[in-house]
């Protein structure tokens, strides 16, 4: 009997160039099902481009992306999302048109449960049937899970930056993704917010069984949640391993972490 593949995602020899400049050069890695994996590296190293290729926003010049053993390389973003890949962005994208609330923004991620016509009716405050009420109840539960249960009917513009990031996270969760791609989710958060976010990530992984692939510059966060780390520099993968292995890798220390990183951020 063939054993099920432990890897939910396989990135194989991906190349992405822009006007002759190579942003990602022959990068390969796997993501183990149920794990948290991080991609780290200096600004401009090609990290966000990798997520854009995985989520279908960009098509690679070469290479393949496999999700649950299915080749998704040429699929458009909506189809990839429907297959079970959720995504947040480095720049927060929330909506306030038509007096859209925090709840409305979360419901925008319910495309796996609601067809566009029903979703439009929700946002226009139309009468809801049983299915629609169920989805709204789910959205409210997710908002409570991320600590925003009492802010469902607020305007997203009234929220702090950290809370806005949680709204975007909630919107990605309502689609019930099997794999969640996070692009610098802790950017701009204070220490308390980062710790709350760390606990939320672990709860998403452990209680919900969602696999997470994140880009992050907060190395204390990365080192305490990621089971495996890929390091990229100038578009190339220069290392891959556990946090302990990455923290001791001389090439990674020179390119990104700095000589005193482990002593200052982890050991201390």
Specify the CATH number for the domain of residue 183: 3.40.50.300
- What pLDDT does residue 93 have? 82
Indicate if 191 and 68 belong to the same structural domain: yes
- What pLDDT does residue 57 have? 94
| Domain assignment present for 138 | yes
| Domain assignment present for 164 | yes
Last residue of a domain, one of 154, 176, 198: 176
* Number of domains making up the chain: 2
Indicate if 61 and 4 belong to the same structural domain: yes
Joined together, the tokens standing for residue 57 give 């926003």
| Domain assignment present for 195 | yes
Give the whole-angstrom CA distance, residue 101 versus residue 97: 9
Direct distance between the N- and C-terminal alpha carbons of the chain, in angstroms, rounded to an integer = 49
Answer yes or no: are the C-beta atoms of 81 and 42 closer than 8 Å: no
Domain that holds residue 227: 1-84+177-234
| Domain assignment present for 259 | no
Last residue of a domain, one of 157, 176, 195: 176
Indicate if 104 and 146 belong to the same structural domain: yes
Joined together, the tokens standing for residue 154 give 């607020």
| Domain assignment present for 155 | yes
Indicate if 141 and 183 belong to the same structural domain: no
Indicate if 74 and 185 belong to the same structural domain: yes
- What pLDDT does residue 1 have? 36
- What pLDDT does residue 261 have? 56
Q: Could you list the mean pLDDT of each consecutive 10-residue stretch along the chain, which spans 268 residues?
A: 72 94 95 96 92 95 96 94 90 82 90 55 53 84 94 93 92 94 92 93 92 94 95 94 92 77 50
Indicate if 11 and 70 belong to the same structural domain: yes
Cα dihedral across residues 95, 98, 100, 105: positive or negative: negative
| Domain assignment present for 262 | no
Last residue of a domain, one of 158, 176, 194: 176
Indicate if 54 and 22 belong to the same structural domain: yes
- What pLDDT does residue 130 have? 66
Indicate if 171 and 182 belong to the same structural domain: no
| Domain assignment present for 265 | no
Indicate if 185 and 66 belong to the same structural domain: yes
Indicate if 189 and 225 belong to the same structural domain: yes
| Domain assignment present for 256 | no
Give the whole-angstrom CA distance, residue 30 versus residue 228: 10
Indicate if 113 and 161 belong to the same structural domain: yes
Q: Report the length, in residues, of the chain.
A: 268
Q: Identify the CA nearest to 40 among candidates 187, 239, 248, 178.
A: 239
The structure's pTM equals 0.87
Indicate if 77 and 67 belong to the same structural domain: yes
Q: Which residues fall within 8 angstroms of residue 56, CB to CB, at 6 or more apart? A: 72, 75, 76, 77, 79, 80
Instruction: Tell me the pairing of strands 228-233 and 211-215.
Output: unpaired
């Amino acid at each position: 009997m063939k054993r099920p593949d432990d890897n939910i995602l396989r990135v194989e020899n991906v190349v992405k160039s822009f006007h002759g400049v190579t942003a990602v050069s022959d990068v390969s890695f796997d993501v183990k099902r149920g794990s948290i994996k991080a991609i780290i590296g200096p600004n401009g190293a090609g990290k966000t481009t990798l997520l854009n290729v995985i989520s279908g926003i960009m098509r690679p010049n070469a290479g393949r992306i496999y999700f649950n053993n299915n080749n998704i390389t040429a699929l458009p973003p909506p189809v990839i999302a429907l297959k079970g890949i959720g995504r947040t962005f480095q720049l927060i994208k929330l909506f306030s048109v038509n007096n859209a609330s925090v709840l409305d923004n979360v419901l925008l991620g319910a495309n796996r449960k609601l067809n566009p016509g029903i979703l439009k009716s929700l946002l226009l405050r139309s009468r809801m049937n049983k299915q629609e009420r169920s989805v709204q109840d789910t959205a409210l539960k997710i908002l409570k899970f991320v600590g925003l249960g009492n802010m469902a009917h607020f305007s997203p513009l009234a929220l702090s930056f950290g809370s806005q990031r949680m709204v975007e996270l909630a919107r990605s969760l309502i689609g019930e993704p099997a794999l969640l791609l996070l692009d610098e989710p802790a950017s701009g958060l204070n220490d308390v917010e980062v710790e709350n976010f760390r606990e939320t990530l672990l709860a998403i992984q452990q209680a919900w069984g969602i696999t997470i692939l994140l880009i992050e510059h907060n190395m204390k966060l990365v080192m305490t949640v990621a089971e495996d780390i890929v390091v990229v520099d100038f578009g190339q993968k220069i290392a891959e391993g556990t946090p302990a292995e990455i923290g001791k890798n001389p090439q990674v220390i020179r390119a990104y972490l700095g000589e005193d990183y482990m002593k200052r951020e982890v050991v201390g």
